[in-house]
């Protein structure tokens, strides 16, 4: 008979069967105060094996409630329930028991200005990245650590990974950002120069963030008078003030969590603030990187080719990862076993890229992205019959127009002929559009649909761009990935 405390049948199934076993009980040291370079103390829960041995450490830093990260939670769809009053989407530190019982120390820490940590909260600023660096080096020096440290987490808890890796902490040996973004302006809060407003108010609020002290970097930058002028301009913006949540934040700028909200809202253009929160020096990422892509954050696709280190790229089925992110546990265990424990489990002998293809519902695998066998096809928008086809438009082809206003939301729709062969749409898409308007600006939303023989349409992907932000960043843009200067 199998002793389930020591063995698991999964060991005989996954890879070559070499992986850490669940053989330890857990010691939980709560609210350990970790000093960082500016004298602030960061509060962390240190969850470690009940053993005198030395183990690798996994770091997770977040602005969310720290206590619910180690709650025993049955896997469930993100945002489907609340744990102690907090939406379960805030559980981003991973399935801690899974790793700790298998010989890892997990350090779950509250960002400065949140939970019981000192200092003031600021949206993923340079100070947060230095804090993670210091926590990594602190962990490596502890008597229970073997000197190897990794980073674990999803969403907001994974934002730090790339920026910390660029700093190259001596004891950071692997990262695993799940469903995150590398360019906080272009890929999340202001994609295409259009505010991600609904999710902004939901996420950056005391419903999710455990903020006790905030720092308003915009007020420090503009001064009190300049800050109030910026708020007054925003209150005069009819588009912004169509959202009552935005109006409430503008009218109460000093209310807890409104400071962080307005730091994002009042910075509609790409600036030094956003540049400090963006990974730009990918050549400095030297640690092995397990990268997962999850909606609505496709940026990892674009940046993965820039990383010159051992790496993996995964895009799973069309659903946000569950909480506590259990479905990635086995893959991450193999990744960390290999890089933090030196277990030769064959993980690096497998294809580096794994993409789940909707429709066929099968996995497509390869070693590079975009897949080398990608066939690039140009399609054109045609006035005649609203066709989408390979033929280039005739020089004298007319344009097409539609009316768009709060009273009348117009649109244009173009369709290909029925596809006569099995076709995989796996890879990036770019639309080059020529347009004019009677107004002063436009917001374009472009969607790609798959229409079945019965006419049922399924949205495959969507992009957006504010027309006034259309200038390309020629140093970064590629034919299949337009990058705008904003």
* Chain-centroid distance, C-alpha 124: 13
8 Å CB contact between 211 and 114: yes
The Cα–Cα gap between 67 and 425 comes to: 42
pLDDT of residue 9: 59
Which of 449, 304, 458, 454 shows the shortest CA–CA distance to 371? Answer: 304
Task: Tell me the backbone φ, ψ of residue 443, rounded to 5 degrees.
Answer: -110, 120
- Which two tokens mark 149? 């440290």
Name the DSSP letter for residue 317. S
Per-residue DSSP letters for 248-303?
A: HHHH-TTSTTHHHHHHHHT--S--HHHHTTB---GGG--S-EEEEEBTTBTHHHHH
pLDDT of residue 107: 98
The Cα–Cα gap between 141 and 271 comes to: 37
The Cα–Cα gap between 262 and 196 comes to: 13
29 to 4, 45, 70, 152, 298: CA distances (angstroms): 26, 6, 12, 19, 37
The Cα–Cα gap between 342 and 262 comes to: 46
pLDDT of residue 257: 85
pLDDT of residue 2: 43
Mean pLDDT computed over every residue of the chain = 91
8 Å CB contact between 214 and 256: yes
The Cα–Cα gap between 334 and 106 comes to: 16
Give the tens place of pLDDT for each residue, 192-237. Answer: 999 998 888 888 888 899 999 988 889 999 999 999 999 999 999 9
15 to 117, 281, 286, 472: CA distances (angstroms): 40, 33, 25, 44
Which of 79, 63, 60, 80 shows the shortest CA–CA distance to 206? Answer: 63
Which of 278, 392, 402, 287 shows the shortest CA–CA distance to 336? Answer: 287
Pairing of strands 105-110, 55-62: parallel
The Cα–Cα gap between 451 and 413 comes to: 12
pLDDT of residue 482: 92
Cβ neighbours of residue 381 under 8 Å, at least 6 residues apart?
A: 388, 393, 412, 414
347, 374, 424, 295: CA torsion to nearest 10: 60
| Cβ-based neighbour number of residue 395 at 10 Å | 5
Name the DSSP letter for residue 180. -
pLDDT of residue 3: 45
Which of 100, 161, 104 shows the shortest CA–CA distance to 129? Answer: 161
8 Å CB contact between 370 and 480: yes
Task: Tell me the backbone φ, ψ of residue 225, rounded to 5 degrees.
Answer: -65, -45
The Cα–Cα gap between 399 and 383 comes to: 7
Model confidence pTM above 0.85: yes
Ramachandran area for residue 94 (φ above 0: left; ψ -120 to 50: alpha; else beta): left
Helix or strand or coil: residue 218? helix
Q: Which residues of the chain have pLDDT under 50?
A: 1-4
- The 3-state DSSP composition of the chain as helix, strand, coil percent (nearest 5) reads 30, 25, 50
Give the tens place of pLDDT for each residue, 345-385. Answer: 999 999 999 999 888 889 999 999 989 999 998 999 998 88
């Amino acid at each position: 008979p199998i002793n389930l405390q020591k063995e698991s049948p999964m060991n005989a199934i996954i890879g070559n069967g070499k992986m850490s076993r669940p053989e330890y009980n857990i010691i939980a040291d709560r609210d350990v105060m970790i000093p960082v370079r500016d004298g602030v103390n960061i509060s962390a829960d240190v969850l470690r094996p009940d053993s005198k041995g030395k183990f690798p450490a996994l770091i997770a830093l977040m602005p969310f409630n720290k206590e619910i990260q180690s709650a025993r939670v049955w896997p469930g769809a993100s945002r489907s329930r609340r744990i102690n009053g907090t939406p379960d989407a805030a559980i981003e530190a991973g399935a801690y028991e899974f790793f700790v019982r298998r010989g890892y120390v997990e350090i779950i820490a509250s960002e400065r200005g949140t939970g019981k940590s000192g200092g003031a909260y600021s949206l993923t600023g340079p100070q947060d990245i230095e804090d993670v660096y210091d926590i990594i080096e602190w962990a490596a020096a502890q008597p229970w650590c073997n000197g190897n440290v990794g980073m674990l987490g999803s969403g907001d808890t994974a934002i730090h990974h790339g920026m910390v890796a660029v700093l190259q902490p001596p004891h950071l040996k692997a990262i695993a950002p799940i469903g995150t973004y590398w360019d906080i302006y272009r890929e999340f809060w202001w994609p295409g120069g259009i505010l991600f407003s609904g999710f902004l108010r939901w996420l950056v609020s005391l419903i999710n963030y455990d903020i006790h002290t905030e720092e308003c970097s915009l007020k420090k930058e503009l001064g009190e008078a300049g800050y109030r002028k910026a708020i007054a301009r925003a209150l005069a913006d009819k588009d912004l003030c169509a959202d009552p949540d935005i109006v409430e934040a503008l009218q109460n700028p000093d209310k807890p969590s409104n400071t962080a909200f307005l730091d994002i809202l009042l910075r509609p253009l790409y600036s030094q603030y956003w540049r400090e929160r963006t990974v730009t020096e990918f050549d400095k990422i030297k640690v092995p990187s397990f990268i997962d892509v999850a909606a609505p954050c496709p940026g990892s696709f674009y940046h993965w080719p820039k990383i010159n280190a051992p790496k993996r790229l995964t895009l799973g089925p069309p659903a946000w990862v569950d909480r506590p992110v259990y479905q990635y546990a086995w893959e991450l265990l193999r990744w960390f076993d290999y890089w933090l424990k030196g277990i030769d489990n064959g993980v690096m002998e497998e294809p580096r890229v794994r993409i789940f293809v909707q429709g066929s519902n099968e996995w497509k695998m390869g070693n590079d992205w975009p897949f080398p066998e990608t066939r690039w096809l140009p399609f054109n928008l045609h006035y005649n019959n609203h066709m989408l086809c390979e033929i280039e438009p005739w020089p004298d082809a007319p344009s097409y127009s539609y009316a768009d206003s709060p009273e009348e939301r117009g649109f244009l729709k173009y369709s290909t002929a029925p596809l006569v062969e099995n076709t995989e749409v796996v890879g990036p898409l770019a639309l080059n559009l020529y347009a004019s308007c009677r107004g002063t600006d436009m917001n374009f939303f472009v969607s790609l649909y798959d229409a079945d023989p019965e006419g049922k349409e399924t949205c495959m992907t969507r992009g957006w761009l504010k027309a006034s932000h259309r200038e390309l960043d020629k140093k970064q843009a590629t034919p299949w990935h337009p990058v705008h200067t904003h």
